[in-house]
């Protein structure tokens, strides 16, 4: 459902991904949550289906799809496995999109086909141990030496830090210039001096690795700079605009999976001599949750459509991310409640959905940061 009609092509992509996701991705999601095994086999198959380079132009090996098709596909993957979805999201929304938008012809030719095929997985390294919500305060430095830059510093909470093959890294090239002194680099994973540090033991999204990346005199050819010197903060913020629509899509996928699981449970569970789905209190919960998911979906479509029309969509992306990520946390909690004691066990997937959703209000900008972005754009000037 949408305030505009989805095209036949968008509906076809949604239905193809739904079938793949519920058959293939869902089959191993619970096991991966236990073992933390990275879903590389899912991702390879997704590469074959065109899901790892969805918005990459056809001439660089991608599908040339629009953002609406992409968020429909991402929601379907998140429905079955949120850990696979976050890898798909960072890869497509931030890494591929940043190269498409800011890369040189040479960078596009070199990296986009490999990303589209999932031969390499993309990672994005902005956050540092002491610079999360305020990435301008980062310490990682890149010093020019001849035709190379030498990068030193530590990045934290990097999705696919271990399993990624290409990392977009931000680093300070000029300490004095604050955000205008930050640059972005494309760093190949096997570059000497790039070390995978601590791997986080997380509450959710356990099959997606989240790591420190340590740069120790890591020498990068100057041609691997993305954009111009000083463009790094703008590149990161532009990438996060698209990324935040992706987090809305993940939230909607997990919320829909939770609601469907709660409905199934309620239709099977009897108490006081009748199915609990007959109780009006429960039915009202279901109605409220379905309405909230639909509202989030419309915000996501609105931001995605604006992006496709090449309008400025920063505010709408943050609104979609804020609303959808808060919504899925309310919904997973309520759906777990509907499952009663069983919801608190690993016998039902709602327990995993509840844990997976928790980070959605945190990563790619906390809910509080989304409110900063939205209000700054409303007031136009953050000081007034
Ligand atoms: N697009 C393009 N440019 C933008 C922009 C956007 N959306 N937002 C800001 N900018 C530009 C501004 O135009 C300005 O440039 P000029 O000086 O040239 O005009 C510059 O950036 C600085 O803007 P602000 O003064 O508004 O920046 P700020 O320092 O006040 O910070 C902020 C703004 C919104 C708080 C920002 O720091 C922010 O988004 N913080 C959160 C960071 C974040 O989301 N981190 C998540 C980590 S990544 C992750 O989680 C990925 C993962 O692996 C899952």
Residues with Cβ within 8 Å of 160's Cβ and at least 6 positions away in sequence, in order, are 87, 90, 91, 121, 122, 123, 208, 209
For the CA of 373, the closest atom of ligand 1 is 34
Digit-coded pLDDT (tens) for 163-216: 999 999 999 999 999 999 999 999 999 999 999 999 999 999 999 999 999 999
Burial 253-283 (b: 16+ CB within 10 A, else e): bbbbbbbebbbebbeebeeeeeebbeeeebe
Closest ligand 1 atom, residue 365 Cα:
44
Going from the Cα of 239 to the center of ligand 1, the distance in angstroms, rounded, reads 10
Helix, strand, coil percent values for the chain (each to nearest 5): 60, 15, 25
Element (H, E) at 150: strand 148-159
Superfamily of segment(s) 240-379? Butyryl-CoA Dehydrogenase, subunit A, domain 3 (1.20.140.10)
Which residue, 382, 130, 83, 89, is CA-closest to 248? 89
Length of the chain, in residues? 384
User: With a cut of 50, which residues of the chain have pLDDT below it?
Assistant: 1
Largest distance between two CA atoms of the chain: 79
Is position 364 annotated as part of the catalytic site?
Answer: yes
Cβ atoms of 91 and 159 closer than 8 Å: no
Of 176, 309, 182, 166, which Cα lies nearest the Cα of 234? 182
CATH superfamily of this structure's domain 8-121 = Acyl-CoA dehydrogenase/oxidase, N-terminal domain (1.10.540.10)
In angstroms, what is the span from residue 203 Cα to ligand 1's centroid?
A: 27
Ligand 1, closest atom to CA 136? 29
Beta bridge partners of 194: 215
Residue 343 tokens, joined: 């919801």
pLDDT of residue 381: 63
Q: Check if 210 has its Cβ closer than 6 Å to any atom of ligand 1.
A: no
ipTM (interface pTM): 0.97
- Asked if 240 contacts 89 with a C-beta cutoff of 8 angstroms, the reply is no
Copy the structure tokens of residue 307. 């992006």
Q: Judge if the beta carbon of residue 228 lies within 6 A of ligand 1.
A: no
Rg for the chain, CA atoms, rounded? 21
The three-state DSSP-derived secondary structure of 42-71 is HHHHHHHCCCCCCCCCHHHCCCCCCHHHHH
Instruction: Give residue 1's pLDDT.
Output: 46
d(CA 55, CA 222): 27
Q: Determine the atom of ligand 1 nearest the C-alpha atom of 160.
A: 53
For ligand 1, mutation pick of 93, 182, 227, 237 (most atoms within 8 Å of CB)? 237
Task: Give the H or E element holding residue 288.
Answer: helix 280-308
Closest CA to 328 of 363, 355, 303, 349: 355
Å from CA of 241 to ligand 1 middle? 9
Going by their DSSP bridges, the two strands 122-125 and 166-172 should be labelled as: parallel
pLDDT digits 0-9 by tens, 109-154: 999 999 999 999 999 999 999 999 999 999 999 999 999 999 999 9
Residue 133 CA to ligand 1 center (angstroms) comes to 9
CATH of the domain spanning 123-233, picked from 1.10.10.10, 2.60.40.10, 2.40.110.10, 3.40.1710.10: 2.40.110.10
234 Cα to the center of ligand 1, angstroms: 7
- Rounded CA separation 293/186 (Å): 37
- Would you say the CB of residue 125 lies under 6 angstroms from ligand 1? no
**In a 10 Å sphere around its CB, with 0-12 CB exposed, 13-18 middle and 19+ buried, how is residue 333 labelled?**
middle
**Residue 265: predicted pLDDT:** 98
Domain boundaries, the chain: 8-121, 123-233, 240-379
């Amino acid at each position: 459902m949408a305030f505009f009609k989805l095209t036949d092509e968008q509906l076809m992509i949604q239905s193809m991904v739904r079938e793949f996701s519920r058959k293939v991705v869902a089959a191993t999601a619970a096991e991966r949550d236990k073992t933390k095994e990275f879903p590389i086999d899912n991702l390879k198959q997704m590469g074959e289906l065109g899901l790892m380079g969805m918005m990459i132009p056809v001439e660089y090996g991608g599908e040339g799809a629009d953002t609406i098709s992409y968020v429909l596909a991402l929601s379907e993957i998140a429905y079955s496995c949120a850990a696979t979805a976050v890898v798909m999201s960072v890869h497509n929304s931030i890494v591929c999109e940043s190269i498409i938008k800011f890369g040189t012809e040479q960078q596009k030719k070199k990296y986009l086909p490999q990303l589209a095929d999932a031969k390499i997985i993309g990672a994005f390294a902005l956050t540092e141990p002491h610079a999360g919500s305020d990435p301008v305060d980062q310490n990682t430095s890149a010093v020019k030496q001849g035709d190379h830059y030498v990068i030193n510093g530590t990045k934290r909470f990097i999705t696919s830090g271990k399993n990624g093959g290409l990392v977009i890294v931000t680093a300070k090239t000029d300490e004095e210039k604050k955000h205008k002194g930050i640059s972005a680099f494309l760093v190949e994973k096997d570059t000497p001096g790039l070390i995978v540090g601590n791997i986080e033991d997380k509450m959710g999204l356990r099959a997606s690795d989240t790591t420190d990346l340590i740069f120790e005199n890591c020498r990068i050819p100057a041609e691997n700079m993305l954009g111009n010197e000083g463009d790094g903060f703008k590149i990161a913020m532009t990438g996060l605009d698209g990324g935040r629509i992706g987090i809305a899509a993940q939230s909607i996928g997990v919320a829909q999976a939770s609601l469907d699981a709660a409905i199934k449970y309620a239709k099977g569970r009897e108490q006081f001599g009748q199915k609990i789905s007959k109780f009006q209190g429960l039915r009202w919960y279901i109605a409220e949750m379905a309405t909230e998911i639909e509202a989030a979906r419309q915000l996501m479509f609105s931001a995605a459509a604006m992006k496709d029309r090449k309008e400025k969509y920063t505010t709408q992306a943050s609104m979609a991310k804020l609303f959808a990520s808060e919504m899925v946390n309310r919904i997973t909690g309520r759906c777990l409640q509907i499952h009663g004691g069983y919801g608190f066990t690993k016998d039902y997937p709602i327990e995993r959905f509840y844990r997976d959703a928790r980070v959605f209000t945190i990563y790619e900008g906390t809910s509080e940061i989304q409110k900063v972005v939205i209000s700054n754009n409303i007031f136009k000037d953050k000081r007034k």
